[in-house]
Amino acid sequence: MMDALGDHEEGSMRNRAFAALAVVLCLAGAMVAVQADEGSTTRSGSFVWEHGNNSGDLEAVFIPTGEASWDVSFHFTFRNKPHTYSGSATGSLTSGALGGTVLNENKTRTFTFEGAFEDGVFNGNHSEVGPERTMSTGTLTLR
């Protein structure tokens, strides 16, 4: 009887230890998510898609990944559908050159962007990378 009770108490202690570990891991994950949100920079602006004469509002979220390097997500609506193109960028978010590469949602199309911030405004160009050549697709502005 004593051995069965001892095994039960040991199992209960083990369950409490696993539960405490799970709480610690969840809290650590939440702290990482908060730190990423606190470190992110959001810029608003607009885009022009030269083919078909389309334009619209644009929001870009930059999350630092190193010195002058970023994960970037562009959020916009095109032909009445919301889109998020994500990838990476290098350069400055305040003054000077900035460029990068993003993929569409299903990762079948690749786009590049390049330009520069001057007086707090980014003016740049975007292009689609095709199998045989890169084709200019329009402009973008961020503030």
pTM assigned to the model: 0.73
pLDDT digits (tens, 9 = 90+) for 48-62: 999 888 999 999 999
Model pLDDT for residues 34-89, shown as the tens digit of each residue? 334 569 999 999 999 998 889 999 999 999 999 999 999 999 999 999 999 999 99
User: Please, is 28 exposed, middle or buried when counting C-beta atoms within 10 Å of its C-beta (0-12, 13-18, 19+)?
Assistant: exposed
Burial 108-127 (b: 16+ CB within 10 A, else e): eebbbbebebeeeebebbbb
- Tokens 């083990």 locate to 14
Q: Which of 57, 95, 92 is nearest to 76 (CA)?
A: 57
Which residues touch 63 (CB under 8 Å, ≥6 apart)?
A: 36, 39, 40, 70, 71, 72
Q: Which residues of 50-87 are buried (b: 16+ CB within 10 A; e: fewer)?
A: eeeeeeeebebbbeeeeeeebbbbbbbeeeeeeeebeb
